[in-house]
Structure 1
Amino acid sequence: MNIGHTYENTARLVHAVTGEYPAAEDLSTAYRAAVSNPELRPMPVEGEGISLSYENGAWAEFCTDNGIFQHIFKGAGPSDGPTREGWDNKVANALDLVQEISPDLRRMVDLLVTDLVILNSGADGGGSASHIPGVVVMSPGQNWGVLDYAMCLVHEGMHLNLFLADKVYGTFRLSSTELEAEQYRALSAVKIGQRRPLDKAFHAAIVTVPLMLMEHHEGRTTLVDLYTKSLRDACEDLQRQRPHFTEYGRLLLDELCRFGEAIDFDHVARAISSPDYAGYRPAVAA
């Protein structure tokens, strides 16, 4: 979640793909060129900023043809011009809100989210996947406000961030397929009471943190009230699976569990931007 660490991981990915070491000011362009490699995703990044498309775009067609995000695309109908204009405006306002809440969360979204597919399927949620870096799919709820759009963008941007970190360092000692087995499952902080594969449970727990921060900033408590206990329970269960995390994964797990033990939003805000968290072995985790 730390922006410096995100930049470091992004630069490592760029170097692994291209052999080049990008300067900070060139990082976004270098990342977009790197993930445009056909070995990383089937279609290149086009242009700057977040490219928006809809249910009839190339990414929607690719996802539908390959069974990706079936729960989101199922039931998606055609959208008209005014509907799309409304979505576009909400996304623009949502990015402004992320900037207001945390400029470094906004930098993370701007860096890692290259393509956004918006459609109306009734799924009321979003999706991202490790094998299509930069791509986020969103099906806004009928009653979504700007904060909901902002939280969806940060939520999926954080998943992309975790996928990136996993590509660079590796988070688990077992493959995603192996982690499907019952003995490697852990409680979900979001799907309360459910046990999910370890990687999915870990992701779900981590992405609750910035979402709780965003609601707290806006004076709301829905997610804080909902997730405070479930996040703590999830952390305890994740710690039982500690042997299956890599050294890097344990670093992330320990920092997550510190937050789960004592909800401290000032700490979260500092952690997003502090240089102490920017490296592989941050001083605070020593």
Structure 2
Amino acid sequence: MHFMNIGHTYENAARLIHAVSQEYPDPEGLHAAYRVAISSPQLRPMPVESEEITISYEDGAWADFCNGNGVFEHIFKGAGPTAGPTRESWGTKVAAALGLIKEISPDLHRMVDLLVTDLVILNSGADGGGSASHIPGVVVMSPGERWEPLDYAMCIVHEGMHLNLFLSDKMYGTFTLPSTDLEAEDRRALSAVKIGQKRPLDKAFHAAIVTVPLMFMEHRQGRTALVDLYTTSLRDACRDLKKQRPYFTEYGRMLLDELCGFGEAIDFDHVAHTISSPDYAGYRPTVAA
């Protein structure tokens, strides 16, 4: 599956870097070059500050930007002030989560390490996270009080996968229509996460894809709650998404077919293979004659 593959992510990052700088980075310099590229004012309002993930809180610059621009209102609503001990606890749990991601899959960790540059942590009670196409690298998280390192890890990977899809969409385009047109009632599809609900096509597609790494991570930890929850809903979502196939680009159809193949088989060995296999690294866009 291309959307899970570290090589494909690196290739897409290199394409974005080239689009911004007219230069392709050396493999060793891709991580730093990607941070320089997305720091362009055309891509996000504030530059990346560090090679590591920068953590900020409700009083940070990213929180000010989001609050001032109505971004992630459902997550910021109700967020109150936080003090040192709470922030230290969050930092410890995020570090444990990143270690757990690396333990589960080193290449999945490399994907997160590339794509997630800024993490805003809040105490709003939303018990979830958010990311947006117009602020690459930024993830907002409001952890639940009982979250374990695996919950933090899955939230980070979940939002990292959204960032990955936003990146690939910038490079190739996933749909033949703009996002606003995909909200029409006849272009909606079942959500694999908000079970039984119809969502705009792009959001339904994203929701279906992010179930794959979450189910995979839980499976690797010997747990089954999400696997049990999403197996049927993912298959239902895939059947509904296929009905909207004409609105997918050639690239989007490739991702859709790979997703639906997983939905039918639920093969976690295949997921592990596709994360690292060079077979899924490349993609040749259509070239005009």
Is residue 2:57 matched to residue 1:54?
yes
How many angstroms apart in 1 are the aligned matches of 2:225 and 2:218?
Answer: 8
Cα offset, 1:61, TM superposition: 0.5
Who is 2:214 aligned against? 211
How many angstroms apart in 2 are the aligned matches of 1:269 and 1:233?
Answer: 23
Residue 200 (structure 2) aligned to one of 197, 202, 206: 197
Who is 2:145 aligned against? 142
How many angstroms apart in 2 are the aligned matches of 1:161 and 1:47?
Answer: 20
Who is 1:124 aligned against? 127
- Give matches, 1:187-266, under 5 Å: 187-266=190-269
Structure possessing the higher relative contact order (Cα contacts under 8 Å, 6 or more residues apart): 2
Cα offset, 1:47, TM superposition: 1.6
Q: State the identity %.
A: 79
Cα offset, 1:115, TM superposition: 0.3
- Consecutive unaligned residues in structure 2, runs of 5 or more: 285-289
Cα offset, 1:23, TM superposition: 1.0
Q: Secondary structure of 1:131's match?
A: coil
TM-score normalised by the chain length of structure 1:
0.98
AA at the equivalent of 2:149: V
Residue 114 (structure 1) aligned to one of 102, 117, 137: 117
- Aligned-residue CA RMSD (Å): 0.9
AA at the equivalent of 1:16: A
Who is 2:287 aligned against? none
Q: Deviations over 1:232-254 (max 9, x none)?
A: 00001001100000000000000
Is residue 2:6 matched to residue 1:3?
yes
AA at the equivalent of 1:252: L
How many angstroms apart in 2 are the aligned matches of 1:207 and 1:172?
Answer: 18
Cα offset, 1:18, TM superposition: 0.9
Number of residue pairs the alignment of both structures matches: 282
How many angstroms apart in 2 are the aligned matches of 1:249 and 1:119?
Answer: 34
- Give matches, 1:45-194, under 5 Å: 45-194=48-197
Cα offset, 1:46, TM superposition: 0.5
AA at the equivalent of 2:43: L
How many angstroms apart in 2 are the aligned matches of 1:256 and 1:23?
Answer: 31
Q: Deviations over 1:119-141 (max 9, x none)?
A: 10000000000000000000000
Cα offset, 1:176, TM superposition: 0.4
Cα offset, 1:190, TM superposition: 0.2
Q: Secondary structure of 2:42's match?
A: coil
AA at the equivalent of 2:27: A
Who is 1:280 aligned against? 283
Q: Secondary structure of 1:116's match?
A: strand
